[in-house]
Amino acid sequence: MSSKNSIIKIAKQTIEMESKAISNLSNLVNDDFSDAVNLIYNSKGRVIITGIGKSAIIANKIVATLNSTGTPSVFMHAAEAIHGDLGLILKDDIVVCISNSGNTPEIKVLIPLIKRANNKIIAITGNSKSFLGEEAHFILNSYVEKEACPNNLAPTTSTTAQLVIGDALAVCLLDLRGFSSNDFAKYHPGGALGKKLYLRVKDISSVNEKPNVSLDTSIKEVIIEITKKRLGVTAVIEDQKIIGIITDGDLRRMLTKVDDFSKLSAKDIMSANPKRIEGNSMAVDALEIMEAHDISQILVEENGTYTGVVHLHDLIKEGII
C-alpha cells in the first residue's frame, strides 16, 4: 500500500503534467481553428462528432456542450458508423473526428467514406501527420508530449487536451452566436442551474400567503396574522403600498422592552422602508439582496403595489441556494 505522501505526490504530478500540456495547446491554435469555427457557424447542417475508445467518450461530452450552447450536434461512434450509422450524416453536416493517434483502423475505414459523400472533416488529433491529419480538411491540434500514465499508455493527458479543444470550439461558437444567459436558460430549464436563469420572484411569491396589516392594527392581530400566514413576517400597507414590515424578530425585541403591549399598534414596532423587490426580478436577485442585508424574507411589489413575500426557505426549496 502506498503511503499518504506518495499518493499526494503522484496526484500533484498528474495535475501539473496535464496543466502544462493544456497550457501548451494555446500555442497550437492557428488559422485552421478559426476556419473550422467559421465553417461550423456558417453551416446549414449539424455537427457530427465521432471517435472510438476514450475519444468517443470525449466526443459525447463535446456534443453535449455544443447542443447546450446553440450548436446542434450528434454523436456517432466510429465503429458503429461503418456498420450502418453513417446514415446519421446528412448532406450539409460537418464531421468532427477525434483520435489522438489519427491512425486507428476504424478511422482509416471511416474517413474515405465521409469524404466520398463530400462532407467536410475537422480532425481533433495529436498527430497532424497521421492518416486522419492528412485527410481532414481542418486540423485542431491536440498534441501532448506524453500521457500522465507512468507507462505513457492510458489516455489521460491526451483526452484532457481533446476536451479542452472541444470547449474552446464551443465557446468560440457561443460567442459568434451572441448566445446569452436567456438562451442558455431555454436549453437548461431543469435543475438548479435552469431555475437561476428563468425562475422569477413572482413565480414563488404567487403561491405563498400574502400577510398584511395596517398601521393601526393591534399587536395581537399582528401576531395572529404572522402566525396564520406562517412566513415569519407581515407587510404593513396603506392603500396597497408597502409602508413597513414586522418580523418575528421585531415582536421578540418588543417583548424585551415592554410588559404591556395592549395599547401598541403595528406602526409602533414596524421597520419603515423595508427591502423589497419587483415581482419580475429573477429569484436569484432576491437571494443576493437577502444575503447582502442578512435578512430571511423580502417583500414583493409590482408597480408599487404590494403582492407578497419570498422567504429564504422558498429559495432553498427551489434549489436556488
pLDDT of 276 reads 94
pLDDT of 199 reads 84
Domain ranges, ordered by start, for the chain: 4-179, 201-317
pLDDT of 85 reads 87
SS3 212: strand
Asked if residue 33 lies in contact with residue 140, where contact means CB atoms within 8 angstroms, the answer is: yes
Mean of pLDDT over the chain: 92
Q: In 3D, which of 169, 175, 54, 69 has the Cα closest to residue 122?
A: 169
pLDDT of 259 reads 86
Is the pLDDT score of 196 beyond 70? Answer: no
pLDDT of 194 reads 61
The pTM of the full predicted model, rounded to 2 decimals, is 0.67
Confidence of residue 193 (pLDDT cuts 50, 70, 90): low
Beta strands in the chain (DSSP E): 47-51, 73-77, 94-98, 121-125, 138-141, 212-213, 233-238, 241-247, 271-272, 276-278, 297-302, 305-311
Is the pLDDT score of 186 beyond 80? Answer: no
Is the pLDDT score of 198 beyond 80? Answer: no
pLDDT of 289 reads 94
Q: In 3D, which of 139, 167, 160 has the Cα closest to residue 34?
A: 139
Looking at per-residue pLDDT, the higher value among 198 and 236 belongs to 236
Q: In 3D, which of 60, 73, 50, 278 has the Cα closest to residue 187?
A: 73
Kindly state the average pLDDT of the residues 240-260.
Answer: 93
Q: Amino acid letter at 191?
A: G
Kindly state the average pLDDT of the residues 49-71.
Answer: 94
pLDDT of 153 reads 80
Lowest mean pLDDT among 93-97, 145-149, 184-188, 228-232: 184-188
Is the pLDDT score of 1 beyond 80? Answer: no
Tens digit of pLDDT for each residue in 264-317? 999 999 999 999 999 999 988 999 999 999 999 999 999 999 999 999 999 888
Residue 51 C-alpha cell reads as 471517435
Please report the DSSP string for 181-193 in residue order: HHHHHHH--SHHH
Is the pLDDT score of 181 beyond 70? Answer: no
Lowest mean pLDDT among 87-101, 168-182, 291-305: 168-182
CATH code for the domain defined by 4-179: 3.40.50.10490
Distance, in Å, from the CA atom of 79 to the CA atom of 95, rounded to the nearest integer, reads 15
Confidence of residue 65 (pLDDT cuts 50, 70, 90): very high
Distance, in Å, from the CA atom of 305 to the CA atom of 239, rounded to the nearest integer, reads 9
Looking at per-residue pLDDT, the higher value among 198 and 238 belongs to 238
Superfamily in which the 201-317 domain is placed by CATH: CBS-domain (3.10.580.10)
Kindly state the average pLDDT of the residues 206-211.
Answer: 94
Which CA distances in Å does 60 have to 130, 151, 319? Answer: 23, 26, 27
